[in-house]
Structure 1
């Protein structure tokens, strides 16, 4: 199986590559073991990113440095069409707000080019098979914008307040339309804050969700830009990978018309995550974490209400189960 991964050197992408090369996952969140389709059997990887910290993982796998809409990459995909695509590449939301031209190019226009090219291969009958490629798009809860106190359901109307969220929503719609036409077999996942991202990543408005883990693990002070009572949607990197792989193997017959899933999450106060992490590490949380709330960051990322996802859970998507499970999986991966 030929698998294309964009953003393959990023936080999620690099971990996905490692998981695929290791074979089937050995654990999951509250739903137990998840058998990811791309993790089964013999695979060849085409990995795309702006840069790579390491060389190719093997002779059978290819690296492309640059945009996922580069002509050289698209020609390679024409010559050797992928059966599965994990489209993970994006410019973080806060950075995309500061650099709007680069943001729309990375998060929307290049995505349009990639999806149109893959759909075109299906139209031309060059896939060499009877079904279009499964495309798993990493979307975001940023599509919702600021939320009120009422629980959010899977029918929540997107009202993005950042360009990043608008671009993700438009990409979801495009992938759903290509899927309706039978040219792609798409599945968009609205991801929450995935923790713990590298401490050097600062382009995410939700960076505080990861920074508290790094600060407590390293025993250094950190000024958190949201209040202790702020609530956020949390997911470990390991759980995110479980859900991506599950999406790759999910039957098309189970997909909603939108081809989009809101993933189950843990909705937790920041204080409870800090306390659970401090207890796990034996650190004095109060001495290390000080709160200096930023009203805009808290409005967008720290006032997230309960999220109800019965359809996604019935389809096999999972969360981390508990705050202790979240903390244990995050720290184990750091």
Structure 2
């Protein structure tokens, strides 16, 4: 099968590409060609089955090249992250909205021309829920985005759901939390502190955390995220609920619980706290979350806090 990954050089994209090359989608070797697109590539895997394209994934010329032949599965990961999308509305709209619409439209045209409906896994975000959040969250919690990024992701979900309803795409959207542990701070990610805690402990460095020790957040490691993306691609279309949107299970943990576990693993974790009300309001007051449809569909979290830490740092 031919598989396309947008945002393939990103933090999650690089790990997904490695898994696709080693494990395939349903079984090892079932990916005959892996098409990767991102703004730029570094340390990219050299493999006979891999093709790279640096550029805007929604540009007509890029889409012409990527979709010169039909694709079977698309993992749409590319986006401008939250803080950056809020600071530069034009850029966020261009990438997260218009380019996503262009990609979905071209994939739908493929289905029309070749009678071959591509399966599309869309990396949405818990940002669709906005803030403040209700005391408990489940599959019935309505999205109420309060930032541009959340709006972008919700629109992407709706577009994909509509193309799926019309029989042109086979869509699946996952509302993902902040994924840990990114290798460095990113000005584009408001949840960057979640990874910074891990990295500071790992390096024996002092870190000033912008949320309080009692702040509660949703945690998922990069390997677990990739597990869930691949699981979404493997799900049979039979019996899936109409919207095709899931919020995968997460570990709901206070920051202090993470810091204490890191201290045990590394001997110490030198974390000071200087809470920023805006960051804590958006990323540190997350309630218990249980999307029963996601559990029933087979999506999973990391298991325990120790497993989360081990997995988050396992693929450095």
TM-score (norm: length of structure 2): 0.96
Matched residue SS, 1:19: helix
Matches of 2:148 and 2:27 in 1, distance apart?
Answer: 31
Match of 2:204 in 1: 219
Question: What does residue range 75-114 of structure 1 map to in structure 2 within 5 Å?
Answer: 75-114=64-103
Q: Which runs of 5+ in 2 are unaligned?
A: none
* Alignment match, 2:284: 302
Aligned to 1:6: 6
Alpha-carbon distance, 1:100 to partner: 0.8
Size of the alignment, in residue pairs? 316
**Post-superposition CA distance 1:285-326 (Å, at most 9, x none):** 2xx100100001100100000001222111110000111111
1:189 aligned onto 2:174: yes
Taking only aligned residues, the RMSD between alpha carbons, in angstroms, comes to: 1.4
CA distance in 2, matches of 1:19, 1:229: 35
| Structure number with higher relative contact order (C-alpha < 8 Å, ≥ 6 residues apart) | 1
Map 1:1-334 → 2, pairs under 5 A? 1-23=1-23, 36-37=25-26, 41-55=30-44, 57-124=46-113, 126-127=114-115, 129=116, 132-148=117-133, 150-283=135-268, 285=269, 288-334=270-316
String of CA shifts for 1:50-100, please: whole Å, max 9, x gaps.
000035522332111011112233213442111000000011100111111
SS of equivalent to 2:137: coil
CA distance in 1, matches of 2:164, 2:44: 34
Q: Which runs of 4+ in 1 moved over 4 A?
A: none
CA distance in 2, matches of 1:39, 1:248: 14
Structure 1 contact 19–39 (Cα < 8 Å) conserved: no
Q: Does the 8 Å CA contact 1:56/1:62 hold for their aligned counterparts?
A: no
- Superposition deviation, residue 154 in structure 1: 0.9
**Maintained 8 Å contact 1:108/1:170:** yes
